[in-house]
Amino acid sequence: MIQKRTFSIGELSSEFDVTTRSIRFYEDQGLLKPTRRGQTRIFSTKDKVRLKLILRGKRMGFSLAETRELFDLWDETPTGNEKQLLKMLTILSNKRAHMEQQKSDIAMAEMEIDTAEARCREALTELQKKKKQQAPANDEPENIAKKTDNN
């Protein structure tokens, strides 16, 4: 046995930390296509992979409809005609552009977070100074009072 081939909805739910409601919703929207044993859903590894892609897509800001469109196109790719394939290439190119935008956004945000953190730490040490001035000339070590919980 190379791999467990099927999964219950509960297994996927807990593995990816997503509600069963969501998983059923994704099926309803045509993103997952589990088979059935009786009325119980049985998910393949392909479904599992797709679920992972759905969630990553969400984190990247894609709607379910977009992701679904990608899945459908991808399924048609091996048998696709020239027009389909060219459409796929265009979409891929668009995704790339989207990702470049995101990388740029992230880079700028990172810089700003750096300066924000610096400003914060500065304000903190400023507070420490004032504390010292208010409680002057004391031979007990200060760092006992300076304990901070970093939660």
Q: Which of residues 12-51 bind a copy of itself (CB under 8 A)?
A: none
Round to whole Å and give the CA distance between 28 and 119.
48
C-beta of 15 vs 85, nearer to a copy of itself: 85
Residue 60: contacted member of a copy of itself, DNA, none (CB under 5 to 8 Å, by partner type): a copy of itself
Q: Which of residues 109-148 bind a copy of itself (CB under 8 A)?
A: 109-110, 113, 116-117, 119-121, 123-124, 127, 148
- Dihedral (C-alpha) 120, 126, 129, 134: value to the nearest 10 degrees? -110
Q: Tell me if 9 contacts DNA by CB under 7 A.
A: yes
Q: Which of residues 74-113 bind a copy of itself (CB under 8 A)?
A: 74, 77-78, 80-82, 85-86, 88-90, 92-93, 95-96, 99, 101-103, 105-106, 108-110, 113
- 86 φψ region: left (φ > 0), alpha (ψ -120 to 50), beta (else): alpha
Round to whole Å and give the CA distance between 99 and 104.
8
Q: Which of residues 27-46 bind DNA (CB under 7 A)?
A: 29, 38-41
And the tokens for 4? 């467990």
Instruction: List residues binding DNA (CB under 7 A).
Output: 8-11, 13, 19-22, 24-25, 29, 38-41, 58, 63-65
